[in-house]
Amino acid sequence: MPPPDPRANPLLLGHAAAEATLADAMRSGRMHHAWLLTGPEGVGKATLAFRFARRLLAGMPEGASLALDEREKVFRRVAAGSHADLLTIERAWDPKRKRVRGEIVIDDVRKVTEFLHLTPAEGGWRVVIVDGAEDLNRNAANGLLKILEEPPRRAVVLLVCSAAGRLLPTMRSRCRRLRLDPLDDASMADLLARYLPDTAEEERGRLVTLGEGSVGRALALADGGGVAVADLVGKVLDSLPNVSAKRAHEVADALGRDDDAFSTFMDLTRAGLAAAVRAAARGRADPDQARLVGARPLAAWVDVWHGLSHLQTETEAFHLDKRQAILAGCALLAGR
């Protein structure tokens, strides 16, 4: 299943410190005009941003939490995208190409300028959430920077970003940064039990491990048969340093005709390889990781990781044969 829409998600676990920081700033009366919420994808950054926006737009009711009752009008209007004092900017639909744009463009940022020049409809605050701020193209980033340099009164801009290094340094310097770390296993297990009540506990446990602290990632894997794909990844990695042609063809035949399965296989393979290399570099590799990377220098495995990334990107971008790409990926892993 897809992750819950952050606009309508009342649940946030594992980020009490970040929530408390925003709540304290709200109560202090000296709230910074721009916040940069960073951290891995799928850990709850956008959920926290909308949680904060709802509380602010509701008039900052007293209480340590930012939670707002789902029955409140503000909650329902934010969930429906109909609150007049909240503007959300993200990659928009391109009517010419009939798909979502790959970046946030200057026309999207112009909406922010127009919005912030309006008087708050309900006499309180105006809130802008830029979801996926790393997708701002150069013109859009420069346009937003001007807004951050001259912020209007009683307005807050929340930048939700999984790759803060892609933002302009001058933009980062004008924001108060708040990092959300990967979720702990207990929070992951709790969230998956709520979101996947019909999934067996053992499978949810696998998803906790595969999600690596990202409930969004775990739910995407659950929706795309990620546990079964992870089993195939395990068989490939367990057979290193040699991946037999028979094994490679078995995997290619099983996944090569499914775009989502191909992407999941490549993502999990690169993740498993990266984890083994990191552990080995720090002297913390378990026996399986040590066996996996021990046949070659660590630098050679880094090259393999980059090769797999390039192979996946090219295959997906140009709609190449997924089956042949899996065979090529297995050959890379085997050093062929």
Q: Are residues 15 and 143 in the same domain?
A: yes
**Residues 256 and 164 reside in one and the same domain:** no
Single out the residue in 179, 210, 237 at which a domain terminates.
179
For residue 147, the domain's CATH number is 3.40.50.300
If asked whether residues 104 and 46 sit together in one domain, one would say yes
Are residue 118 and residue 240 in the same domain, yes or no?
A: no
pLDDT tens digits for the chain (336 residues)?
556 799 999 999 999 999 999 999 998 888 999 999 999 999 999 999 999 999 999 999 887 789 999 999 999 999 999 999 999 999 988 888 888 888 999 999 999 999 999 989 887 899 999 999 999 999 999 999 999 999 899 999 999 999 999 999 999 999 999 999 999 999 999 999 999 999 999 999 999 999 999 999 999 999 888 999 999 999 999 988 788 889 999 999 999 888 889 999 999 999 999 999 999 999 999 998 998 888 899 999 999 999 999 999 999 989 999 999 999 999 999 987
Residue 121, domain member (yes or no): yes
> Within a domain: residue 17?
yes
- Structural domain ending residue among the three candidates 158, 179, 200: 179
Residues 231 and 129 in one domain: no
Does residue 244 sit in the same domain as residue 169?
no
Task: Let me know whether 147 and 13 are in one domain.
Answer: yes
149 in the same domain as 238: no
Q: How many domains are contained in the chain?
A: 2
Same domain, 18 and 107: yes
Find the helix or strand (DSSP H, E) in which 309 lies. helix 298-317
Predicted TM-score (pTM) of this structure: 0.89
**173 shares a domain with 107:** yes
What is the b/e burial string over 163-173, where b = at least 16 CB atoms within 10 angstroms of the residue's CB?
ebeebeeebbe
Residue 189 placed within a domain:
no
Which pLDDT score, from 0 to 100, does residue 3 have? 65
Long-range contacts of 257-264 (CB under 8 A, 24+ apart): 257/322, 257/323, 258/322, 259/316, 259/322, 260/224, 261/224, 261/225, 261/229, 262/315, 262/316, 262/322, 262/325, 262/326, 263/312, 263/316, 264/221, 264/224, 264/225, 264/226, 264/229
- C-alpha 5, offset from chain centre: 13
Confidence (pLDDT) at 217: 93
Same domain, 228 and 166: no
For 256, what's the count of Cα atoms within 13 Å in the CB-facing half-sphere?
17
Written as six digits, the tokens of 51 are 């949680």
Among residues 115, 150, 179, the one where a domain terminates is 179
Whether 107 is covered by a domain: the verdict is yes
Cα(206)–Cα(90) distance, rounded to whole angstroms?
Answer: 32
**Domain ranges, residue 276:** 224-334
Phi-psi region of 184 (alpha: psi -120 to 50; beta: other; left: phi over 0): beta
Q: Which two tokens stand for residue 194?
A: 């709520």
Does residue 194 sit within a domain? no
Residue pair 51/66 in contact (Cβ under 8 Å)? The answer is yes
11, part of any domain: yes
Does residue 122 share a domain with residue 43?
yes
- Domain assignment of residue 187, yes or no: no
Residue 117 lies in a domain: yes
